[in-house]
Amino acid sequence: MVETIQYPKKKQNKVVRYDSIADYECKTVHSIVNESPVLHVSFVVDGLPVNLPMIGQMGSFDHPSAGLDEPLDLYIHGYVSARMMNTAGTEGMKVCVCASIVDGYILTYTPYSHNYNYRSSVIHGTATLVTDPDEKLYAMTIITDKIVPGRYENSRTPPTKGELAATSILKITVDSASAKVRAGYGVESAEDIIDENKKIWTGVMPISHIFEPPVPSAYNEVPLPSYISDFIEARNKESEEYIKYSTTVAPK
Amino acid sequence: MVETIQYPKKKQNKVVRYDSIADYECKTVHSIVNESPVLHVSFVVDGLPVNLPMIGQMGSFDHPSAGLDEPLDLYIHGYVSARMMNTAGTEGMKVCVCASIVDGYILTYTPYSHNYNYRSSVIHGTATLVTDPDEKLYAMTIITDKIVPGRYENSRTPPTKGELAATSILKITVDSASAKVRAGYGVESAEDIIDENKKIWTGVMPISHIFEPPVPSAYNEVPLPSYISDFIEARNKESEEYIKYSTTVAPK
């Protein structure tokens, strides 16, 4: 059996509910974060929770060639308020980041056993402001390439001094993390498998997240480059294959 | 001009960044929550942020016929830990709920002016456990009908006493809320509109969230009912129309 790197189970990240679908592997946690267009970043201000949508990508500035199955940091791009900056700039700000992808609805005889097919990651970590210009450029590169791999080098880069100064990047070092992956058909409770319920439609309603044909801007003068069209084709194919898998596999 | 009900701008919910796309209308905030398959619910435990994916729907138990443009509560279904229950069961637990839908990526000349088309709602509120059986049934109905309108009455309902007892519902009364809606093509900064940048592809990469054909369970014996097929058709058509709108409209 191949050894995989897992996040240790601590009090903070141990999944207690539906633990059969819990997954602590670095690769699972990191893949879901990188595949989610948006992350939800929560932190505490004056004792109250704040939760904001932000864009982020897992990476390692010290070991840029590290794979998704290795320890990584989470780089977040987004508006960092003065208050956040003050907190994150000194001792670091505690954050909890959640990434979720919904793959479908599972309809069974009774609402109680309805379910979702989904993939989610939760990362508990400490956020600090990135001040090193090289690390900031590294983060800007991987966050731009999250949109389409290769976009950074195929756009007007590097950023100007003004752009660099106006961009805030938070680096989140991971304290603990976990993922949940639910895939498969629905499961009925034994007492619901009766003739009377057979009139009820049951099955999976798959949801796919599809890249539609790109719409060039009014001033665009070049054909769609292959780094974009190939990426879209590959992602849509993956999506189609995952739908097939997630609707037919036996659930854990 | 038609008067619309808006959330008052308070310190907590006033959008300071990109305030031109901020929207405080009840209808906008509530629609995004109801359209998001998953919500991210954050709260504070021992001074640290926790953020979990949960399912929820806006509604009013006291005025069930209230529209999305009227004041509503947010009913959340999901695993409520003993710790959450203790907090929410007494004086209420402060939560911040975020719903986000990503509609596309906006590629411009330089990463600095790249953007997302998206719709997001942020609700600050106070969560309490629903204990009244009638209110619990109301919440279970609207949350089931979030998946497909009409599903509750077309499945094995009402829940058994055991199911009712085993289901936790949180009611979130809204303290303040706001939404952000970014739609439209990309915007370049004046200094980037130069010949040298014309080799860069620019435009919108729309993302649609599509209901694929439902997959019946192995034991299903009935054809797909029209309340499901009609819903899927309507939602996919809406999605297609929104993509057209969001890629062509002038951004705010």
* pLDDT of B1 over the 70 cut: no
The pLDDT of residue B3 is 73
Would you state the pLDDT for residue B78? 75
- Domain membership of residue A12 (yes or no) is no
List pLDDT tens digits, range B207-225: 999 999 999 999 999 999 9
Q: Which amino acid does the sequence have at B229?
A: S
Residue in B closest to A195 by C-alpha: B221
Residue of B nearest to A247 (CA): B215
Encode pLDDT of B15-71 as tens digits.
877 788 899 999 999 999 999 999 999 999 989 999 999 999 999 999 999 999 999
Q: Tell me how close the Cα of A1 comes to any Cα of chain B, in angstroms.
A: 32
Q: Is residue A95 part of a domain?
A: yes
Does residue A149 carry a pLDDT above 80?
A: yes
Q: How far is B67 from chain A (nearest CA, A)?
A: 24
Which of B38, B202, B218 minimises the CB distance to A100? B38
Which two structure tokens, joined as six digits, stand for B84? 């959450």
pLDDT at site A12: 83
Distance CA B111, CA A155 (A): 7
d(CA A57, CA A76): 7
Contact across the interface for A205 and B148, Cβ inside 8 Å: yes
Has residue B95 got a pLDDT over 90?
yes
Smallest Cα distance from A62 to chain B, Å: 23
Mean pLDDT of chain A: 93
Mean pLDDT of B99-105: 98
Question: Is residue B86 very low, low, confident or very high in pLDDT (cuts 50, 70, 90)?
Answer: low
CA B206 to mean position of chain CA atoms: 19
Inter-chain contact A186–B222, Cβ cutoff 8 Å? no
Collapse the DSSP code of A162 into the 3-class scheme (helix H, G, I; strand E, B; otherwise coil) and give the result: helix
User: What are the structure tokens assigned to A105, written together?
Assistant: 């609805």
User: What is the model's pLDDT at position A82?
Assistant: 64
pLDDT one-digit tens code per residue, B142-193 = 999 999 999 999 999 999 999 999 999 999 999 999 999 999 999 999 999 9
Of B86, B64, B85, the C-alpha closest to B76 is B85
3-state secondary structure of B29: helix
Q: Which of A160, A201, A207 sits opposite B222 (nearest CB)?
A: A201
**B6 within some domain:** no
What is the pLDDT averaged over residues A204-209?
98
Contact A201 B224 (CB under 8 A): yes
If you write DSSP's letter for every residue of A47-114 in order, what string do you get? TEEEEEEEEEEEE-SSSTT--TTS--EEEEES---HHHHHHHHTT-EEEEEEEEEEEEEEE-SSGGG-
pLDDT given at position B12: 83
pLDDT at A85 over 90: no
**Residue owning tokens 């390439």:** A145
| A32 pLDDT more than 60 | yes
Looking at the predicted structure, is the pLDDT value of residue A134 above 90? yes
Distances (CA, A) of B67 to A87, B28, B60, B77, B122: 40, 12, 9, 21, 19
CATH number at B54 reads: 2.30.110.10
In this predicted structure, the answer to whether residue A90 has a pLDDT above a threshold of 70 is no
- Interface probe with A: pick from B15, B191, B212, most Cβ of A within 10 Å: B212
What count of residues does chain A have? 252
pLDDT given at position B87: 65
Kindly state whether residue A11 falls inside one of the protein's structural domains.
Answer: no
Tell me which chain B residues have a C-beta less than 8 angstroms from the C-beta of A107.
147-148, 151, 155, 228
pLDDT higher than threshold 70 for residue A96: yes
Cβ pair B203:A225 closer than 8 A: no
Tokens in use for B112? Answer: 């600095």
Residue A104 scores a pLDDT above 60: yes
Residue A2 lies in a domain: no
Residue B228 lies in a domain: yes
By Cβ distance, the residue of A156, A209, A223 closest to B110 is: A156
How confident is the model at residue A91, as a pLDDT?
Answer: 77
- Tokens representing A194? 């009766």
To which H or E segment does residue B26 belong?
helix B26-35
CB environment B77-106: b (16+ within 10 A), e (fewer): bbebeeebeebbeeebbbbbbbbbbbbbbb
Kindly list the distances between the CA atom of residue A80 and the CA atoms of A44, A84, A87, A139, in Å, as whole numbers in the listed order: 14, 6, 11, 15
- A43 is a domain residue: yes
CB contact under 8 A, B98 and A53: yes
- Are residues A201 and B220, on separate chains, in Cβ contact within 8 Å? yes
What pLDDT sits at residue B181? 96
Domain count, chain B: 1
Size of interface A-B (CB pairs under 8 A): 278
pLDDT given at position B213: 97
Nearest CA in chain A to B204: A215
SS3 content of chain A, % helix, strand, coil (to 5): 30, 35, 35
What is the domain range of residue B73?
19-248
Q: In Å, how far is B2's CA from the nearest CA of chain A?
A: 31
C-alpha torsion A13→A14→A18→A23, nearest 10: 80
Q: How far is A38 from chain B (nearest CA, A)?
A: 7
Set of chain A residues whose Cβ sits within 8 Å of the Cβ of B223: 201
A158-182 pLDDT, tens per residue? Answer: 999 999 999 999 999 999 999 999 9
A120-148: average pLDDT: 96
Average pLDDT, chain B: 93
